[in-house]
Chain A
Amino acid sequence: MVDLSINFAGIKAPNPFWLASAPPTNSGYQIMKAFEAGWGGAVWKTLGIPVVNVSSRYGSVNYRDTRMMGFNNIELITDRPLADNLREIEEVKKYFPNHAVIASLMVETRKEWIQIIKDVENAGVDGIELNFGCPHGMCERGMGSAVGQEPEVLKTIVEWAKDAAKVPVITKLTPNISHITDPGLAAYQGGTDAISLINTIKSIVGIDLDTYAPYPIVDGKGTNGGYCGPAVKPIAMNMLKDLAQHPEISKIPLSGIGGIETWRDVVEFILLGATSIQVCTAVMHYGFGIVREMDAGLRAFMDTKGYHTIYDFAGLALPNVTEWKHLDLKYKVIAAINPDKCIGCDLCYIACDDGAHQAIARSIDLKNRIPSIIEENCVGCNLCSLVCPVENCITMLRKDDGTAHVTWAERTNADDIPTSFNDNRAGGIGHFVPKPTDALKS
């Protein structure tokens, strides 16, 4: 029997599906509705000294017919008075004592931190999340990512919070930084109980071609916003991996955020070491109801694999994420086209010919357009299999027999790597390249 309940750094929840601190957690009404729909926890919209927001707040990147593939916002933290939020937190906890309610906080001075932590604890929160992430507006005021980008400052504030808090403290990181492990380690050293990531990424999602203003446009002007949604998932996962593989930071639980929408996303984040996940954009797009797809999918996955709790598979992908230099240079795959499935679009041909290694030939049979792989030219880059519009039409087949194995690191140790510009150990030597003038023939 699958048991989805979690204990995240001491914060208990019936399942790992949490709402990220954002508009969906703006009010008690929304959070109660979400819990009814099946969410296990919610990080309240960041509390602090209430702000004033602009009108026209969101922009998006639509990829073809897919709306909000990437999403950006120029909203700040809550614009509602603290007292209203506290009252509603209390009410939510009364109705849902076993769900996780976490207060996201962002203030400036130590005095303010101590005060607001006391306030939310009195209201009954199960944990607090320090928002060091917001990349617009708040940072201009010395908060949010302005803190998240300064590990020393971040560490100090984590220490303040830990000092003041009785409930577990989660530190939420900004991705607007070169090495996520820098603020990650600072938070760890400051004594944080857990880390959540990522907050939004600084972005401009588009420019209006008549007014020349960036979206979202506020009376003819715009500003950089915070990017999130499906587009940021790969960035979030990479950062999550960095923390989960870190010898020290990995000792504390990690909450994964960034582009999560389906059960697959959830499983991927857990495999990379997250033990709770948070969602914002997908809920802003489809409402709380999407949790039913995540829930059913996660359960089915765990059932099939025979896992009882998410801890049974948390982090299982981590050993397989290694450094480039440890990858096997003898491993060799080659593309294969299934002629029964091919629809003759020749996208693979042109992708390979113009964008890769000239390893696909067009059909010489006038009756069809099924291309063929020139095996000796194929470097096994995967490109054709990625562009092919037909499910399972191009597959990459393993060609080496698995007996030989050598990595860049080993070759380096053995002094067997190219060292000069025209070194004959270059990987491309002997590989077919057409004559430049072949390009000119019709």
Chain B
Amino acid sequence: MLFLIMTALLILPVLIILATLIYKGGPAISWEFLFDDPREGMTAGGIFPALVGTIWLVAVALLVSVPLGVAAALYLSEFAPDNWFTRFINLCIINLAGVPSIVHALFGVGAFVLFFGFGTSILAASLTLAIMTLPIVIVATRESLQAVPLAFREACWNMGATRWQTIHRVVLPNAVSGILTGVILEVSRTTGETAPIMFTGAAFFLPFLPTSVFDQTMAMSLHLFVISTQVPGVPDHLPYGVALVLIAMVLTMNAASIGLRMYLRGKKKW
């Protein structure tokens, strides 16, 4: 009974947030809101550039962090010897996960904007996001790799398979559901982040769509921050509308992740 109440208490804030957003932001949602540029100093019009910008940022970040993270996890799980160096790497990953996002943002400015000279651009912002979410991909991938029983690997090795053949034929196919779940988790985290992108590539107001990774772009999360705190005279329903769309994006990703997990678990092979 106590547990039931505590569970209910967990659900409550989520429900309240959702209800408020739908109640206050729902009226703002329209075809025009989604597919129009912001107008009149962002006090009217739509959010299209921010929507597209967020998709760019997330996509580029994934393009970097997924290959890198999966490769790192493969190394850690399948190849790395158990020595101080490996343990040190694992410690670093845990620490990387704990670094506040504003610190990542400053790192991004120093490394990508200034040192590598990417300027404030999608590339710099996405790289910052990628570094920040790398631990999620690594940890999720490593855990799903290690969930594949050793006996499967040994059976393969006994047949004369090399390590790579074993990974390719047996380990990866059985770890892919866990890896995908991690990736989706990363997407939903990346979508909502504001701090890491506001100094590295996201623009205050830029009613054009980006054409390459070297452009700046608007982004949903920053746009929400801007119109709710920085711009006077924004009608109430606008920020709520933006928040609602943002939350809808994240929840859709999470739902997709849960659905995918259930689907793949249904197909679970052992």
Are the chains A and B members of one assembly? no
- By a beta-carbon cutoff of 8 Å, the part of chain A in contact with chain B is none
